[in-house]
Every structure is written in C-alpha cells, then in structure tokens.
Amino acid sequence: MGDKHSQPHAIMVPMPLQGHLLPHTHLATKLASHGLTITFVNTQHIHHQITKSQPNDTEDQDDIFATARKSGLDIRYKTVSDGFPLAFNRFQNHNQAVEGLLHVFPAHVDELVGNLVQSDPSVTCLIADTFHPWSATIANKYNLVNISFWTEPALVLSIYYHLDLLRERGHYGSHDNREDTIDYIPGVKAIEPKDLVSHLQATNTSTAAHRILYKAFQQVTNANFILCNTVQELESQSLLALQEKQPTYAIGPVFPNKATKSVVVATNLISEFDCIEWLNAKPPGSVLYISFGSYAQVTKNVVEEIAHGLLLSRVSFIWVLRPDTISHGELETSILPVGFEDEIKDRGLIVPWCSQIEVLSNPAIGGFLTHCGWNSILESMWCGVPMLCFPILTDQTTNRKLVVDDWGIGLNLCDRIKPITRMEVAEKINRLMSGRLGDGLQKEIKKMRQKLEDGLAINGSSQKNLCQFISDVKAKIQT
C-alpha cells in the first residue's frame, strides 16, 4: 500500500437490504464530505429496485450519487451481480437468496474489487457490511485496509462476537439451550435468552443465515477497524469491551446531516407516498405511526388484531403496509379486515412506503408502533417519539430490550409468549398516546435525543471518533 493518494479511497459494499443500504449511503456521504473518495457498490437488483421506485422525471437514474458529485463529493457508483436474474424473487425464495450471498455473490465482488484496484491504484480500503462473510478474504487478497461497518446496536455486535462463548456455556446451539440469565459476555451486564437475537434462539442452527453469521463473525475479528452506527455514551459498556479487542469507533447516528442535507441520494426500494399534507392537518401528538420496516413479515392474524385494535383505540394513524408484509403462503389474501378502510375514513392512512424520518419529525406524530429495527429506533429517538415495540426477528428482539428495559423510552405491545389480541393493542396504543404515561416516556426520550445530538455536535463523541477513524486509516495506509 505504498504509493497511494493522501486521501483514502474506499470501496463500500452494503448488504443488499433496505435497512443496510440507508446507513451505508449516509456513511458514504459523510466520509466523502471529510474528503474521502468512495466507490459505492450496489447489487444490480437493488439498483433496479431503486430505479423502479423513483418518480419518472428523476434525473440520473443510472447513478444515484450524481447529485452528490455535483455538490463536490467524490462518490463513484458501481453495480455488481448477486448471481440471480433481476426478476428472481429474493423475498419469496429467501433461503436460496441467502445461499447466493454466501456462495455466489463473493465471487462477483471479488472480480469487481480486483478490476477496480487494477484500474485505479488510488483504491486503498474496503468498507464492507459486517454481515458479509467474505470481507477479510477479499480485503487481504487485494491488500486493502479492512473496515467493517456495523449497522445494528453495539450490544448485538457484542453478542454475535461471542457466539463461541454462548455455545460453550450451553445458551446456543444445543437441543435444550440453558434458560438462565447470560451474564458472562464481555460488555453485556446481563441478558435473558429470550432477548437474544432471533437467530440465536432458533432450534435449527444450520440454516444458510446461520452459516453466514458464523463466517461473518469470524471475518470481523480480522477487520482493521470497526465502525458502529451508535453513540459511545448510549452503549459505552458494550463499546468499551469491543474496543479492548479491536479498534472500534461509535460514529452514529449516521443520518443525512446538515453538511450534506442538500445532497439527495435515491435509496427507496418501494415508491414513497407523501403523507405530509395529511399529517399537517392533524393536532400535535395525535397520530400513531406504524411500520414493520422493509424486511419483516407478520401473519394475517397479527395484521387483523392490529387493525381491530386501531379501530377500538379511536387513535389517528399512518400505517406502512408493504405489499409483502404478510408472511409466506398468505400473499394472495386481502391484508385488512373487510370494511376497515371505510370505517377509518380520514382517521387513518395506509401507505406502502413513506419518508419515515420526515413523518417522525412531524409534530403531529405522538407515538411509533415499531418492529424495533435499529434505524427506526435511532430515528424515533432523534425525533423524540416514544415507541410501542413489536419485535419480529433478527436483532429486533434484542433492540426491544434496549428500548423498553434499559432506556425506558417504549412499551411492549404484547407479551411475546401469548398471541396478540385486539383489546391489548387498543389498550397499549391508548397508553402510549395518552399524556399521562406519555410524559414519563417523553422525559426519557428527550434525554436520549440529547445524547444523539451531543454525539453529533462539533466536539461530540461521534464527530471526534469519525475524525480519529479517518486519521487512523490514513496512518494505516502509510504503513
């Protein structure tokens, strides 16, 4: 890595999922606004989805970073095949798609990185999503600084990082996993097995997703640097323990910040519905926002109970219901109870997708019924909106613990053991939206918002960590 540019040039490869694409895009603009050159790589399928979701008159359909470049940021854009044809339904053929990420996608990335390094000697770094099971192998092959970007809480990283420990102690990977409290993971004071990420609670631990996890968390131990989309003061215990193992920098929350606000990068995989005019006509704090994110699916029964609960609660709401929200086998059935839309009239808005951050920052929003995706939690904290938690899979089960048990900024929608009921939904929605209980949550969420703001302030920890990271990367390139 001797004769290279003074500024690092990083190839960035997100996981091809909405919740990973967003923070990677924001990180790309952030790093570029600090003078780095970024070559951002999307899969052809993700690029196709983005293009399809854009309004027809959008300029530069082929290059989502064209506006960023016009604003002076050096972000180049490439696409790569994930091994499947564009029309292949990755959502409905989930296992096959995950096998592809494990066995086929790495070969395409390897070829692309090889070509980029050969054609442009300024390339010095690889920033790969921590979930990629190939990052260290490819970074080493092309002599690139290996940077892992973690888009979930540091708590979740600490848990995955110590998978072997969990297995050794019998909390993971055996037929009758221990059910007592886990208190031996460095940086994790105590966690109940029911709050582990869903993959670690599964009885079948040989799925393609598990095999990705094993490889990815072996690879991460070889990263030169780990970036986390969190704030040091928010998760200091987990971060300090990780920092003892490897250089780890909390640089979050990575949102489009003031410096890059004018830069519009297309990231939606589903066309966005504009809810703002509708919201502006509602009184402050009166509207509940509901979303299960981009990936999680629920059963028809859950949708029905939430719909009836909303009717009983009398609360106004915006509900993001993606066309594929209902889990496998029920895709053809009508999602909502008969007559639901007539009954709610102007009280509710059902949309396939919206600008969530814009919705959450509207004064009309008083609560967020969320699946507890980490981006959604950060955005809710940023906008000071208390949460009603309905975790579904992956890190969401662990994130719920942070929101409800550790930080006191949300309520559980239901007891996870029992099936969800409409009465409980109505009661919890009313509790969340009522001033009385809302006040307690409001107080705590204001504190959390302050922590995020402090982190991003000029002398804040995230800002300082980002600068430190950049200077450490430059030093590494020199050596």
Which residue ranges make up the site for ligand UDP (CB under 6 A)?
Answer: 18-19, 22, 291, 293-296, 320, 353-357, 373-376, 379
Q: Yes or no: say if 374 and 395 are a contact pair by the CB < 8 Å rule.
A: yes
d(CA 112, CA 44): 13
- Comparison of 124 and 316: residue with beta carbon closer to ligand UDP: 316
Which residue has the closest beta carbon to ligand UDP?
Answer: 19
**Number of Cβ atoms within 10 Å of the Cβ of 265:** 22
Dump the DSSP string for 128-167.
EETT-TTHHHHHHHTT-EEEEEE-S-HHHHHHHHTHHHHH
Strands 37-43 and 75-80: parallel
- Comparison of 392 and 411: residue with beta carbon closer to ligand UDP: 392
d(CA 422, CA 64): 42
Tell me the residue length of the chain.
Answer: 479
CB of 204 vs ligand UDP, minimal distance in Å: 22
d(CA 390, CA 379): 16
Radius of gyration of the chain (CA): 22
CB of 295 vs ligand UDP, minimal distance in Å: 4
CB of 150 vs ligand UDP, minimal distance in Å: 13
CB of 397 vs ligand UDP, minimal distance in Å: 12
Main-chain dihedrals φ then ψ at residue 37, nearest 5 degrees: -95, 135
- Comparison of 92 and 218: residue with beta carbon closer to ligand UDP: 92
In Å, how far are 129, 279, 392, 394, 411 from 199, measured between CA atoms?
A: 18, 37, 11, 6, 23
CB of 151 vs ligand UDP, minimal distance in Å: 7
d(CA 73, CA 262): 12
- Comparison of 84 and 353: residue with beta carbon closer to ligand UDP: 353
Of 403, 462, 409, 405, give the one whose Cα is nearest residue 439. Answer: 409
Residues 6+ apart with CB under 8 A from 157: 130, 150, 226, 228, 238, 242
- Comparison of 106 and 153: residue with beta carbon closer to ligand UDP: 153
Using DSSP's 3-state secondary structure scheme, residue 320 falls into: strand
- Comparison of 12 and 275: residue with beta carbon closer to ligand UDP: 275
CB of 384 vs ligand UDP, minimal distance in Å: 15
- Comparison of 94 and 167: residue with beta carbon closer to ligand UDP: 94
CB of 379 vs ligand UDP, minimal distance in Å: 5
- Comparison of 393 and 437: residue with beta carbon closer to ligand UDP: 393
The one-letter amino acid at 360: L
CB of 366 vs ligand UDP, minimal distance in Å: 18
- Comparison of 39 and 407: residue with beta carbon closer to ligand UDP: 407
d(CA 299, CA 294): 15
CB of 385 vs ligand UDP, minimal distance in Å: 12
